[in-house]
Amino acid sequence: MKKTLILTLIALVMIGGGIFYFSPDIEASSHREAPIISADPQADNTDLYAFVAPDATNSLTIVACYNPMEEPSGGPNFNKFGSDVLYEIKIDNVGDRLEHVTYQFQFTDIVGNGNTFLYNTGSVKSINDPNLNVKQTYVVKKIVNGSTVWTSSALPVPPCYVGGPGHNDPNYAGPISMPNYNALMQAGIQNLPSSGGKVFCGPTDDPFFVDLGTAFDLLKIRPNAPGNGGGGKDALAGYNVHSIVLQVPKSEVTRNGNGNPSASDSNAIVGVWATASRRTTTVINSDGTRSGSGNFVQVSRLGMPLVNEVVVPLGKKDLWNASQPVNDAQFLSYVTNPELAGIINALYPVTDDIPTSNRNDLVAAFLTGVSGLNQRPQDTRTPCEVLRVNLGIAPVPFASENRLGVIGGDNAGFPNGRRLKDDVTDIALRVVAGVLLGPPYSTGINNQLGDGVQRNDVAFQTTFPYVAAPHQGYTNSHGSIVGIFNTPNGNNGLPNSYGLQQNFPNPFNPSTEIRYNLLKNDKVSVKIYDITGKEVRTLVDGTMSAGVNSVIWNGLTNEGNAAATGTYFVKLVTSAGEDTRKMMLVK
């Protein structure tokens, strides 16, 4: 029988690559998985990915993201890495829950002219352009079993994407801040002082995707449950993070130095987690500056998504962020007796009585690795929360990746590591609902649960650093255009005419903004068609408010594939009529 749930007291919130249990006396948002770290975004590790990329099969690629929900237009002090934060990527290649290979990152701020408020004083055409007034550099250090192996030189961080290109926008008068941001991003790719390693540190699109709006509204899935048919709204679309992307040869991280281990070799399995640390003491000086002293203390930790968000209770979340994997036995009971399973029993018409105790299937998925997939012999004796990846399992081509990973039949995906496209929200919901337990929990709605968001808002790159370029401040999608209305005409500030504006930029690659004017609240359809009249993508299908509305087309089709170079048409349909504009996608 279904349990009774007082919905006014409990809501289920999916965040930070996982799910968070939310009650009225807690303020939480995407990626903010613990009370203290939610007030310290520069040190907040939002997501961690570890995978073997199909274009770099001899290497391990790791992506660690920090600073949640960066607004692209958030100047004049744009987001950056913390110069007083020690960022680390840690690897256990033994199976004893301890770090054996560590990559440390420390950042330095450089301000050219302190007598101006400007981030950039003119058009920035190179990563070292003197017009870029605020710069950052960083140093990478590799440590193996406590001994420093090498230290890099000072490496550049690409700037935030202030704006540009955009000379064909009639509303934009003034210099283009960054006319070729792709060149700036590529300049951020640096070689490590090792045999073939690469690194990138800088702003990027937030690669995580989730419908937070419905999650906060008592888990109301749009358009309806179970949420496996799409229709969700990516709440992180248009926001940025700061990402550390590392690609190192497998031989540098396996215990025995084997650069091509087989999937059955336990040395092929490594555990990865990322952390951020601050000095024990911070002093606020009389001139407003701050200085830190003492040892570094860990304030953020992330390996597997989900564990701190939904498994660890509120009173121990900050303890989790400060703890080490070797001490994870203290949290084991929260995994074997998951509170979330009971909540799913009450919220959904799932198979009755999803087990809420003795959940050893969750222990395997999140704390020991899965036997025959990514579990070392030691793991069953030493459960701990790290992102385990079997380096001997061959990757599949990017276009063939199954977003459901292992439960979708793709052993190169989550929870065997985590790729950028892996839909950890849907996977996590289904695993907690018992799909690993077999029938009856592996069938029916239990194996269909999701949030309706199945892909990122922009396409990922197919070469290093794989994450997408950051969204730019000028064409950010989180505001409306002010000043183009004839407000004295008695129209209450509404636009003077109905219809589409020309998309910007045009031509475009890979995304473009489409604005349209509505004279009243109306049912709206915005669709993209190719030159043959075939529908390519539905962008809007619902009721929208009067005014200037905006939507971004990221160049993807309804199936999630990248649209080809060519001419496309955007069509607006409302009760007031239809309007169509032509645009060009150029790659």
How far is Cα 206 from Cα 201, in angstroms, rounded to an integer? 14
Question: Does the residue 3 lie in any domain?
Answer: no
Domain count, the chain: 2
Which of 398, 415, 447 is the last residue in one of the domains?
447
**Sign of torsion over alpha carbons 277, 279, 282, 288:** negative
Q: What's the gap between Cα 561 and its chain centre?
A: 19
Q: Which domain covers residue 426, as residue numbers? A: 11-447
**Sign of torsion over alpha carbons 206, 562, 395, 409:** positive
Supply the Cα-derived Rg of the chain in whole angstroms.
24
Give the tens place of pLDDT for each residue, 96-116: 999 999 999 999 999 999 999
Give the tens place of pLDDT for each residue, 323-346: 999 998 888 888 888 887 887 787
Question: What is the per-residue pLDDT for 56?
Answer: 97
Does pLDDT of 7 surpass 70?
no
Question: Does the residue 189 lie in any domain?
Answer: yes
CB 413 within 8 A of CB 406: yes
Give the tens place of pLDDT for each residue, 219-232: 566 776 677 877 78
Q: Is 64 in the same domain as 191?
A: yes
* Residue 1 pLDDT grade (very low, low, confident, very high; cuts 50, 70, 90): very low
The residue ranking higher by pLDDT, 270 or 16, is 270
Residue type for 577, please? G
CB 132 within 8 A of CB 109: no
Q: What's the gap between Cα 287 and its chain centre?
A: 37
Q: Is 267 in the same domain as 412?
A: yes
Which structure tokens are listed for 12? 């289920």
Strands of 535-544's sheet, edge to edge? Answer: 535-544, 522-530, 566-574, 577-585
How far is Cα 48 from Cα 65, in angstroms, rounded to an integer? 6
CATH of the domain at 520: 2.60.40.4070
DSSP strands (E only) in 145-181? 147-151, 155-156
Question: Does the residue 345 lie in any domain?
Answer: yes
Question: Does the residue 138 lie in any domain?
Answer: yes
Question: What is the per-residue pLDDT for 219?
Answer: 57
Give the tens place of pLDDT for each residue, 544-577: 888 888 888 989 999 888 899 999 999 999 988 8
* Residue 57 pLDDT grade (very low, low, confident, very high; cuts 50, 70, 90): very high
How far is Cα 278 from Cα 292, in angstroms, rounded to an integer? 8
Question: Does the residue 87 lie in any domain?
Answer: yes
* Residue 67 pLDDT grade (very low, low, confident, very high; cuts 50, 70, 90): very high
Q: Is 287 in the same domain as 410?
A: yes
Q: Is 251 in the same domain as 360?
A: yes
Name the percent of the chain lying above pLDDT 70.
Answer: 87
How far is Cα 427 from Cα 415, in angstroms, rounded to an integer? 9
Question: Does the residue 549 lie in any domain?
Answer: yes
How far is Cα 587 from Cα 62, in angstroms, rounded to an integer? 27
The residue ranking higher by pLDDT, 83 or 452, is 83
Name the percent of the chain lying above pLDDT 90.
Answer: 52
Does pLDDT of 166 surpass 60?
no
What is the overall mean pLDDT for the chain?
Answer: 85
Half-sphere exposure at residue 86, Cβ-oriented, CA atoms within 13 angstroms: 17
Question: Does the residue 519 lie in any domain?
Answer: yes
Q: Is 175 in the same domain as 85?
A: yes
Which of 416, 447, 478 is the last residue in one of the domains?
447
Q: Is 389 in the same domain as 517?
A: no
How far is Cα 311 from Cα 340, in angstroms, rounded to an integer? 8
Which structure tokens are listed for 554? 């990221």
How far is Cα 248 from Cα 131, in angstroms, rounded to an integer? 33
Give the tens place of pLDDT for each residue, 118-150: 999 999 999 999 999 999 999 999 999 999 999
Q: Is 441 in the same domain as 506?
A: no
How far is Cα 430 from Cα 436, in angstroms, rounded to an integer? 9
Q: How many angstroms separate the Cα of 400 from the Cα of each of 78, 257, 375, 561?
A: 37, 30, 25, 11
Question: Does the residue 210 lie in any domain?
Answer: yes
Q: Is 491 in the same domain as 423?
A: no
Q: Is 206 in the same domain as 140?
A: yes
What's the average model confidence in pLDDT over 499-509?
Answer: 85
* Residue 185 pLDDT grade (very low, low, confident, very high; cuts 50, 70, 90): very high
Q: Is 433 in the same domain as 567?
A: no
Question: What is the per-residue pLDDT for 375?
Answer: 92
With CA atoms as reference, report the closest residue to 451 among 26, 30, 113: 30
What's the average model confidence in pLDDT over 460-469?
Answer: 96
Which of 447, 471, 506 is the last residue in one of the domains?
447
How far is Cα 84 from Cα 82, in angstroms, rounded to an integer? 5
| Range with top average pLDDT, 33-47, 64-78, 571-585 | 64-78
Q: Is 38 in the same domain as 105?
A: yes
Q: Is 443 in the same domain as 572?
A: no
Quickly list DSSP for 447-511.
Answer: GT---S--S-SSPPPSSTT-SPPPPPSTT-SSS---S-S-GGGSSTT--SS-EEPPPBSSSBSS-
With CA atoms as reference, report the closest residue to 392 among 377, 378, 409, 372: 372
